[in-house]
């Protein structure tokens, strides 16, 4: 029988995940379908019970349900627990297991985009859900330091306070981080600033940025945010969020099927949907 996969969220109409996963199912000859499900506010528990009842084999979870879904699952992976968000669910014999592939997906993209960086000093801009996934994943790679700056400093302080690894980590205001921007090897932009309608705004000033630095953004549409443009104009290597999106999907696909999918092909599928934008 055809297996059912999907993504639940609100809004969900623009999700590119169905294209990416359905293409992989046909590539690997798997009799399955991946469907976007719009879940109305207040109806998440019903939706999860329904997916379980009809035997859905697995699903992704996106905004705004990544945290709210956690108490509805039977088991949660330790990294997802630490991050406080689940984006991938696997149905194992009727029990729902939750994972977070956003952080590990970002790490894979970073390793691919900026290979061979040793003991980097990292600055993360933002302290929301995406920043949490990246922070708890990257701190386990034991960087020289991982600082967080955020518009609301208290949120950055609270995130740094949860760290268990002993990796040097400070919470900074955006202005404090901008002043010492030349000290970082990698600067990671995780806020929504740079997406429509704020396409000509960078959340941080990059004057003084070191040419040897690396700038990564989790946004992939537009393919080059103002933050990345400013970094590129200063001669810095840049990486947009397409790799993170592809790799979080690839890790979810592997959890569901045991197959490590062709990420170049996934990238092409997404780019085609985006209308041939360069990423
Ligand atoms: P996500 O799950 O995508 O990370 P989120 O949890 O809502 O989304 O987090 C959004 C992040 O973008 C936060 O760090 C937010 O800063 P605050 O904690 O101060 O709200 C940041 N952000 C959003 N709009 C911003 C803006 N105009 N300037 C600076 N930071 C902004």
Q: How would residue 276 be classed by pLDDT, with cut points 50, 70 and 90? A: low
Quick one: 50 and 110 in the same domain? no
pLDDT in tens, 160-187: 999 989 999 999 999 999 999 999 999 9
The pLDDT score that the predictor gives to residue 116 is: 87
* Dist. CA 173–CA 170, nearest whole Å: 10
Question: What does the pLDDT look like over 238-263, one tens digit per residue?
Answer: 999 999 999 999 999 999 999 999 99
- Conformation bin of residue 139: beta by default, left when phi > 0, alpha when psi is -120 to 50: alpha
Per-residue pLDDT of 118-131, as tens digits, reads 999 999 999 999 99
Domain membership flag for residue 155? yes
Same domain membership, residue 125 and residue 87:
no
Q: Could you tell me if 164 and 179 lie in one domain?
A: yes
Q: Is 212 in the same domain as 257? A: no
pTM for the whole thing?
0.97
Catalytic residue selected from 41, 66, 155, 237: 66
Residues 108 and 71 in one domain: no
Q: Which two tokens stand for residue 49?
A: 């019970």
Report how far ligand 1's centroid is from the alpha carbon of 208 (Å): 24
Convert the pLDDT of each residue in 149-162 to its tens digit.
999 999 999 999 99
Q: Does residue 278 sit within a domain? A: no
- Domains of the chain: total: 2
Tens-place pLDDT, residues 188-227: 999 999 999 999 999 999 999 999 999 999 999 999 999 9
The average pLDDT across 134-140 equals: 98
Q: Is the CB of 248 under 6 A from ligand 1?
A: no
Beta bridge partners of 67: none
109 and 221 fall within a common domain: yes
Residue 126, ligand 1, Cβ within 6 A: yes
What separation in Å is there between the alpha carbon of 226 and the centre of ligand 1? 16
66 counts as catalytic: yes
Residues 197 and 92 in one domain: no
Residue 212: domain span: 103-240
54-67: average pLDDT = 98
Residues contacting 60, CB < 8 A, separation 6+ = 6, 7, 8, 17, 87, 88, 89, 249, 252
203 CB within 6 A, ligand 1? yes
Residue 233 lies in a domain: yes
Distance CA 218, CA 124 (A): 11
53 and 157 both lie in a single domain: no
Alpha helix positions (H), the chain: 17-27, 44-53, 78-83, 102-113, 129-138, 153-161, 174-179, 226-233, 242-257, 263-273
- Grade residue 236 by pLDDT with cuts at 50, 70 and 90: very high
State whether 255 and 162 are in the same domain.
no
> Are residues 76 and 166 both part of a single domain?
no
């Amino acid at each position: 029988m055809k297996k059912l996969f999907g993504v639940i969220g609100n809004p969900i109409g623009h999700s590119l995940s169905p294209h990416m996963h359905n293409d992989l199912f046909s590539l690997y000859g798997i009799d399955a379908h991946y469907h976007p499900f719009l879940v109305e506010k207040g109806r998440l528990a019903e939706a999860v019970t329904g997916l379980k009842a009809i035997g859905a084999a697995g699903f992704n979870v996106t905004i705004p349900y990544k945290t709210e879904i956690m108490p509805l699952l039977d088991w949660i992976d330790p990294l997802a627990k630490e991050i406080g968000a689940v984006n991938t669910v696997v149905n194992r014999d009727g029990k729902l297991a939750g994972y977070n592939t956003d952080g590990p997906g970002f790490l894979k993209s970073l390793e691919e985009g900026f290979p061979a960086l040793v003991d980097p000093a990292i600055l993360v801009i933002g302290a929301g859900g995406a920043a949490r996934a990246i922070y708890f994943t990257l701190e386990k790679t034991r960087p020289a330091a991982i600082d967080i700056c955020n518009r609301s400093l208290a949120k950055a302080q609270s995130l740094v306070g949860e760290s268990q690894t002993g990796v040097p980590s400070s919470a900074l205001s955006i202005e404090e981080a901008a002043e010492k921007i030349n000290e970082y090897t990698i600067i990671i932009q995780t806020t929504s600033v740079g997406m429509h309608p704020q396409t000509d705004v960078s959340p941080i000033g990059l004057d003084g940025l070191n040419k040897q630095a690396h700038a990564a953004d989790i946004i992939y549409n537009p393919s080059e945010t103002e933050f990345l443009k400013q970094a590129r104009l200063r001669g810095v290597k840049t990486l947009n969020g397409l790799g993170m999106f592809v790799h979080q999907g690839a890790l979810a696909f592997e959890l569901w099927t045991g197959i490590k999918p062709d990420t170049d092909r996934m990238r092409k599928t997404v780019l085609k949907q985006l209308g041939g934008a360069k990423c």
